[in-house]
Amino acid sequence: MTLGRLNHVGIATPSIDKTVETYRHLLGAEAIGAPFDLPPQGVRVCFIDAPNAQIELIQPLDETSPIANFLRKNPAGGQHHLCFEVADMAAAIAGLQAKGATLLGDPRIGAHGTPVVFLHPRDMGGVLVELMEMPGEGH
């Protein structure tokens, strides 16, 4: 595996609407997607495009969402995860497991409709890292 593109930075927020307005008003964000729900993950998400990468705003759908727990510790919101692209998820997972990395659960379908998997922050210097297969590049 070679380090792939930084697809997005995930940011937890108690209010996607308010945070979108912040990025629009203060930073001049213009390419803002429509928010949508991901019920299996317990979250509502919204992507803001920077020219080279995306910001994924993540709001809990209910109090059982992992993001709700994050917001209990960080009520204003904050940086939640980094997502790097991989060409082949199966190969990436096999390689990580061979190196003893801890994956958080099985791969699932992420917000972009392709397989994603999360690495435990303790393996990555306290940073929650998501790997995301790019459409059409997998096997």
Residue 44, CA distances (Å) to 66, 111, 118 in order: 12, 10, 18
Report how far residue 35's alpha carbon sits from residue 33's, in angstroms, rounded to the nearest whole number: 6
Q: Has 130 been annotated as catalytic? A: yes
Q: Is 87 in the site for its own copies (CB under 8 A)?
A: no
66 binds its own copies (CB under 8 A): no
At its nearest, how many Å lie between its own copies and the CB of residue 131? 8
Q: CB of 54 within 8 A of CB of 81?
A: no
Taking the alpha carbons at both ends of the chain, their separation in whole angstroms is 15
Sheet holding 115-119, edge to edge: 36-38, 43-49, 54-60, 6-12, 78-86, 129-133, 115-119, 108-109
Catalytic residue among 56, 85, 130, 133: 130
**Which of 17, 18, 90, 137 is close enough to bind its own copies by CB under 8 A?**
18
Among 17, 36, 50, 62, indicate the residue that binds its own copies (CB under 8 A): 50
Q: Does 25 bind its own copies (CB under 8 A)?
A: yes
Residues that bind its own copies (CB under 8 A): 1-6, 9, 11, 13, 18-19, 22-23, 25-31, 48-53, 55, 74-80, 82, 84, 96, 99, 101, 119, 121-127, 129
The catalytic residues are: 130
